[in-house]
Amino acid sequence: MPCGQPDLSPHHALIAALLTLALLTGTLGFRFIEHYSLFDAFYMTLITITTVGYQEVHPLSHAGRIFNSFLIFFGVTAMFVAVGAMTQTIIELQLQDRYGERRKRRAIMRMKDHFIICGFGRVGRSAAFELQRAGAPFVVIDRNDQRVERAAQAGMLTLRADATRDESLREAGVERARGFIAALATDAENVFVILSAKTLNPRLTVVTRASEEDAEQKLRRAGADTVFSPYSITGHRLAHALLHPQVVQLLDFSAQAVGLDVTIEQLQVGGGSGPNPGRLIDLFPPGGSLIVLAIGRPGGRMMFNPPLEREVGAGDVLIVMGDAPSLREMETQLMKAGRV
C-alpha cells in the first residue's frame, strides 16, 4: 500500500458484510414469508433498502409488512452507512492526493546534493533500489503512471513528468543535484536529457547506459561522465567467467556481498584544519577490519594495492573494502581530524 494512504480494507469489509446480510435477509424473508420468487424477493429487498419508493412487487400480508418494517430500519441504516463511508473515502483520497503532492514537492525543493534518476524501467529501477539501500537522497522521474506508483510504493520520492523537459528537471532540483542517472528507453532520449541536464547544471555528474554500440561516443559528447554498455560488459564478464572464474567470483562478492555486512566505499581526504593526513595505517580505526584497494590521486591517477606506509594527501580518494561499522568509524575519524 502506498505510503500515506489509510488502510481501508477492514472498514470496507464490514460495510460489504452489512449490505450482503441485509440483501440476503430480505431476499430469504420475502421468499419464505410471502412466497415470492427469488428474483422478486431480491428486487423487493433492493428497492426497500435503497429507498427508491416503487410500489410493492406483490401485496404484502400482515406478517410481510412487519418483516418489511424491520428490513427498512436495518437495511436503510446499512445503506446510509455505506454511502457515508464511500463519500468519506473519496474525500480523504482527494485530500491525500492534493496535500501529498504538495508535501512531495516541498520535500524535493528542500533537497540538495541529491541524485536524479530519469526513467524507472529495469535499469533505472535497479539503480534506484541500490541508492535506496545506500541511504542516498534521490528523486525518480518517469511519465508512466504505473512506474511512478511502483516507485512510490517502494517508499521513493517520485515525480510524474517528462524528463526531457527543462521544467521537469528544474522541478526535480537538477540545479542543486549532485548526480544524474539517464535511464530512459532509447539512446536518443538519453542524449537529449543529458544535454538539458548539463546545460542547467554543468557541475552535475552524469552516468548513463548505451543500448547501441555507436551511441557511447554521442552520449559522452552530450555530457555523460560515465557510459555503460550492457552488451559489452556482459560479453566481457562471460569470457572472464570462463577464463578467470575466481576473479569473477571475487568481483561479484565485493559488489553484492550477499548475506554479509561487507561493502566497498570511497572516502574523500580533504584539507580541513587538522594535521596532515599522514600514513594509511594511521587512518585505520582500532580493531577495524578494512582493506584499502586503491588510492585515487587528483587528476585521475589510480594507485592499486597501496602499502600501509603510503602517505596520503588532501584530495586523495581512498577505495576501501570492509564491514560497514569499520567504514563508518574510519569516516568519522577523518571528519573529526578535519580531513573530509
Under the banding of pLDDT at 50, 70 and 90, the label for residue 16 is confident
Other Cβ atoms within 10 Å of 223 Cβ, number: 19
The yes-or-no verdict on residue 285 having pLDDT over 50 is yes
Report pLDDT for 297.
81
Report pLDDT for 335.
66
Check residues 201 and 63 and name the one with the higher pLDDT. 201
**H/E element, 83:** helix 62-110
Residue in the block written with cell 555523460: 224
Section 127-148 average pLDDT = 92
Residues 252, 262: Cα–Cα separation, whole Å: 12
The yes-or-no verdict on residue 176 having pLDDT over 70 is yes
Under the banding of pLDDT at 50, 70 and 90, the label for residue 339 is very low
Torsion angle (degrees, nearest 10) of CA 36, 42, 43, 45: 100
Report pLDDT for 254.
60
26-35 contact pairs (CB < 8 A, 24+): 26/71, 26/75, 29/67, 29/71, 30/64, 30/67, 33/61, 33/63, 33/64, 33/67, 34/58, 34/60, 34/61, 34/64
With beta carbons less than 8 A apart as the criterion, state whether 182 and 213 touch.
no
Residue 194, Cβ density class (10 Å: 0-12 exposed, 13-18 middle, ≥19 buried): buried
Under the banding of pLDDT at 50, 70 and 90, the label for residue 1 is very low
Average pLDDT score over the chain = 81
Residue 235, Cβ density class (10 Å: 0-12 exposed, 13-18 middle, ≥19 buried): exposed
Check residues 232 and 148 and name the one with the higher pLDDT. 148
Report pLDDT for 4.
43
Check residues 311 and 190 and name the one with the higher pLDDT. 190
Other Cβ atoms within 10 Å of 228 Cβ, number: 14
112-233 has CATH 3.40.50.720 classification: yes
Residues 136, 125: Cα–Cα separation, whole Å: 15
pTM (2 d.p.): 0.58
Pick the range with the lowest mean pLDDT from 40-54, 166-180, 183-197, 254-268: 254-268
Percent of the chain at pLDDT exceeding 90? 27
The yes-or-no verdict on residue 10 having pLDDT over 70 is no
- Alpha-carbon dihedral sign for residues 57, 59, 64, 70: positive
9-107 has CATH 1.20.1080.10 classification: no
Q: Of 20, 12, 14, which is closest to residue 75 (Cα–Cα)?
A: 20
Under the banding of pLDDT at 50, 70 and 90, the label for residue 84 is confident
The yes-or-no verdict on residue 325 having pLDDT over 60 is yes
Residues 127, 163: Cα–Cα separation, whole Å: 17
Pick the range with the lowest mean pLDDT from 193-202, 281-290, 313-322: 281-290
Q: Where in the chain are the domains?
A: 9-107, 112-233, 261-336
CA distances from 13 to 1, 18, 71, 308 (A): 17, 9, 21, 66
Residue 201, Cβ density class (10 Å: 0-12 exposed, 13-18 middle, ≥19 buried): buried
Under the banding of pLDDT at 50, 70 and 90, the label for residue 340 is very low
Query: For 312, which DSSP code?
Result: E
Q: What is the CATH number of domain 261-336?
A: 3.30.70.1450
Report pLDDT for 304.
87
> Given strand 205-209, what is the order of strands in its sheet?
157-160, 138-142, 115-118, 179-182, 205-209, 226-228
Q: What three-state secondary structure class fits 267?
A: strand
